[in-house]
Amino acid sequence: RQPAKTLWYDRPRYVYLEFCVEDSTDVKVVIEDHRLVFSCKNADGVEFYNEIDLYARVNSKDSREKRSDRSITCFMRKWKEKVAWPRITKENIKPAWLSVDFDNWRDWEGDEEVERAMVEQYAEV
């Protein structure tokens, strides 16, 4: 069992995590108010497991995940919206498997409409 490579980024209402596992099976995502647990297998039968104690509280009932062929994306609704998260983990440590998703990281100004459209797009899948 090993951790999946994980990318994360912060938005005004949601925090996004992307677990980079291609052709995943047996995907399990448990989103709690202060913690996220992820597990799955890839096509070769390798087991992946990540457990993250979150930096701040999320609304677990208004959080979701979406599986694609290349990854599993979780979007977690922040309990306190419009408060920037300097990191995803509670402790100020950076595991080797965790990175900031600079492709999706951007300044928040005027970003709420874009974020709402992204969440609606995910909800349709």
Mean pLDDT split into 10-residue runs, the chain, 125 residues: 97 96 97 98 97 97 95 97 94 95 77 65 62
- Distance, in Å, from the CA atom of 65 to the CA atom of 101, rounded to the nearest integer, reads 17
Rounded to 5°, the CA angle 26-30-35 comes to 140
- The model's pTM: 0.86
pLDDT at position 118 is: 66
pLDDT at position 105 is: 81
- Give 6-124's CATH code, choosing from 3.30.1360.20, 1.10.540.10, 2.60.40.790, 3.40.50.10800: 2.60.40.790
Which residue in the block uniquely carries the two structure tokens 């052709």? 23
CB under 8 Å to 76, separation ≥6 — which residues? 14, 15, 16, 17, 31, 36, 54, 58, 59, 60, 63
